Amino acid sequence: MYEGGLAMNLNNIRHLNWLNIIVKAAVVMFVVFLLFIAGAMTALAPWLIARLLPIGILVIVILTALMSANDKRLSEKTLNIWLAVLLSTMALWPTYLLIKFSGLPALDARRVVAGLTLGATLYFLLSRKYFVKALFTGGYFRVGSFLVLSYATLRIASCFTSEHTFASLIIVFWEILYYYSMFFVGALLFGEAKYHQWLMKILMVLAVLIAGYAAVEWLFEKNILIQLAPSNKEFTEFKAALALSRLREGFFRAQGTFEHPLLLAEFSAMTLCFGLAAMLWSKKEDEFRVLGGITIVAAIGAALLSGSRSALITTTLGGLIVILLRIIAPKVALKKRQQTFRKIAFFFTLSAVIAVAIPAASVLVKGRTTNEAASTVGRIYMLELGIPSILSNPLLGKGPGSSGAIAGIRTGSGIGTLDNYLLAIAIESGVPALFLFLACLLYPVWVIFNKLMTGEQTSANFYAAVAAALVVTTITRTVLWMPYNLLFSFLLAGMVLRSISNNPKNTDQ
């Protein structure tokens, strides 16, 4: 008996060592890919050497990690601070605001924090065996990892169909840094249930702060942060284009700390889901409930100030999903047949509410004013321009960065735009990439739905909010190309799938 147990432990150790070797080899290949991009870029533009310094630093970090043998776990306090800094920077720091010191390249705080997060994650992945063990968690997380990696692989592969391969590789490099890597950051660093409520608090506080800033911006019709943006030619044109896009039918559209009013609308709709979940799953005297109520008011206010039609649809749908999950999801464990009845009831109720709301939604989609109607016509025209390209290149597309030239149009103000991220992905990387992208967002929703229907109560508010927020993100992608809020979506998806995979329960009672 003792010898059998010892042999099993030895096999587990050998298995973990092999996994460790595989991970290190994969990371080294990733570094080689980064060095390839850096070398190509500096060969084409030597002035980029200073800007590519972070890649050299990343190589040093990885080499240091390969020589480290420390397996000490990170403290909960450290990770809480880390999560707060990451989310706050990505929500509060505008993409156009750069830090410039004389003689040095401009710094983007978002890029710095995302780069440090990815570098630290790779360091711990190479130096701590428990990180490797977490990476190979089975179940739902394994499926989610496969989806994200497959999607990223197709994005990279499609770069080689582009007329400007190196430019496409640069685009995908930043996507990996900001979005796809965040799936694994969320899973490996924050994939335990003890971080769920903390993340909800951070997002709700950020929603209130951003809504307050948006209200001030709307009242004075001026965004102070834009005034701090660089004054070179590129940003002068950016400011002019932004000024034209923010005034619709005499209504000033707030953008808050984001680059576009639609990004504010998307973030507000996502955080509304967390505020509503905090209210519905908390006791009356709980301060979490109070914060949730404040967040709901702030998120709805910010969505309205953004002047976005999609915000009215996404906030309503996101809130409806959270409410239905609270009402229909059981409070105790049920047999599988009972769970099936609950699922059917959920979908029938949701479908009925959507059917009732279709007339009002149709009015919003068609447009209530001349400008809104023109915007809808423009989006339809983009589809007409993009579909032939998709049909002619359905597998790998035309390469990242090509969609704007193919399906983009110029508005009446002369601004070039492509208002559909899903269309852009299909044009640039093909139909398989589009389906994989949708699966990356919607697979966690399906996993959460099944989990809540088992009667799961641990972190139920967090799971419900994430499911609704991911649906909000998916719908918003049909009218918004800018991908910046996808960082939150991939981070949440990784956290959810790892957490549920860590705590599987038999649904048959």
pLDDT score for 500: 93
230-268: buried (b, 16+ CB within 10 Å) or exposed (e) per residue?
Answer: eeeeeeeebbebbeebbebeeebbbbbbbbbbbbbbbbb
Rama region for 11: left / alpha / beta (φ>0; ψ in -120 to 50; rest): alpha
Q: Do 199 and 65 belong together in one domain?
A: no
243 compared with 445, residue with greater pLDDT = 445
Please check whether residue 169 lies inside any domain of the structure: no
Percent of the chain residues topping a pLDDT of 90? 39
Please check whether residue 297 lies inside any domain of the structure: yes
Distance between CA 412 and CA 176 in Å, rounded?
Answer: 34
Q: Please check whether residue 494 is in contact with residue 183, taking contact to mean a CB–CB distance below 8 angstroms.
A: yes
C-alpha R_g of the chain = 23
Long-range contacts of 445-451 (CB under 8 A, 24+ apart): 445/470, 445/471, 447/140, 447/496, 447/497, 447/500, 448/496, 448/500, 449/325, 449/343, 449/346, 450/507, 451/500
Question: What does the CA dihedral 401, 421, 376, 214 come to, rounded to 10 degrees?
Answer: -100
Per-residue pLDDT tens over the stretch 236-258: 656 666 666 666 666 788 888 89
Cα–Cα nearest to 462, from 500, 490, 505: 500
* Domain end call among 136, 152, 170: 136
| DSSP assigned state of 47 | G
Please check whether residue 146 lies inside any domain of the structure: no
Report for 55-59, 101-105, 370-374: range of highest mean pLDDT: 370-374
Please check whether residue 201 lies inside any domain of the structure: yes
Residue type at 332? V
| DSSP assigned state of 230 | -
> Is the confidence at residue 484, as pLDDT, over 80?
yes
Q: Do 240 and 97 belong together in one domain?
A: no
Looking at the 3D structure of the chain, how many domains does it have? Answer: 2
Q: Do 220 and 350 belong together in one domain?
A: yes
Please check whether residue 172 lies inside any domain of the structure: no
Per-residue pLDDT tens over the stretch 266-283: 999 999 999 999 999 877
Q: Do 115 and 204 belong together in one domain?
A: no
Tokens encoding 145: 């990892």
Percent of the chain residues topping a pLDDT of 70? 74
Q: Please check whether residue 443 is in contact with residue 151, taking contact to mean a CB–CB distance below 8 angstroms.
A: no
Distance between CA 159 and CA 156 in Å, rounded?
Answer: 5
pLDDT score for 144: 95
* Domain end call among 136, 159, 183: 136
Please check whether residue 186 lies inside any domain of the structure: no
Q: Do 14 and 101 belong together in one domain?
A: yes
Q: Is residue 1 very low, low, confident or very high in pLDDT (cuts 50, 70, 90)? A: very low
Q: Please check whether residue 507 is in contact with residue 455, taking contact to mean a CB–CB distance below 8 angstroms.
A: no
Please check whether residue 238 lies inside any domain of the structure: yes
Q: Do 238 and 118 belong together in one domain?
A: no
Q: How many CA atoms lie within 13 A of 393 on its CB side?
A: 20
Q: Do 200 and 57 belong together in one domain?
A: no
Q: Do 197 and 285 belong together in one domain?
A: yes
> Which structural domain range is residue 320 located in?
193-502
Q: Do 132 and 248 belong together in one domain?
A: no
Question: What does the CA dihedral 255, 434, 176, 23 come to, rounded to 10 degrees?
Answer: 150
pTM for the predicted model, two decimal places: 0.85
pLDDT score for 509: 35
Please check whether residue 414 lies inside any domain of the structure: yes
Distance between CA 457 and CA 274 in Å, rounded?
Answer: 16
Which residues is 107 bridged to in the sheet?
99
Q: Is residue 56 very low, low, confident or very high in pLDDT (cuts 50, 70, 90)? A: low
Which residues is 99 bridged to in the sheet?
107
Per-residue pLDDT tens over the stretch 298-355: 999 999 998 888 888 899 999 999 999 999 888 887 778 888 888 888 888 888 888 8
Characterize the bridge pairing of strands 416-417 and 251-252: unpaired
Give the residue carrying structure tokens 């002369």. Answer: 414
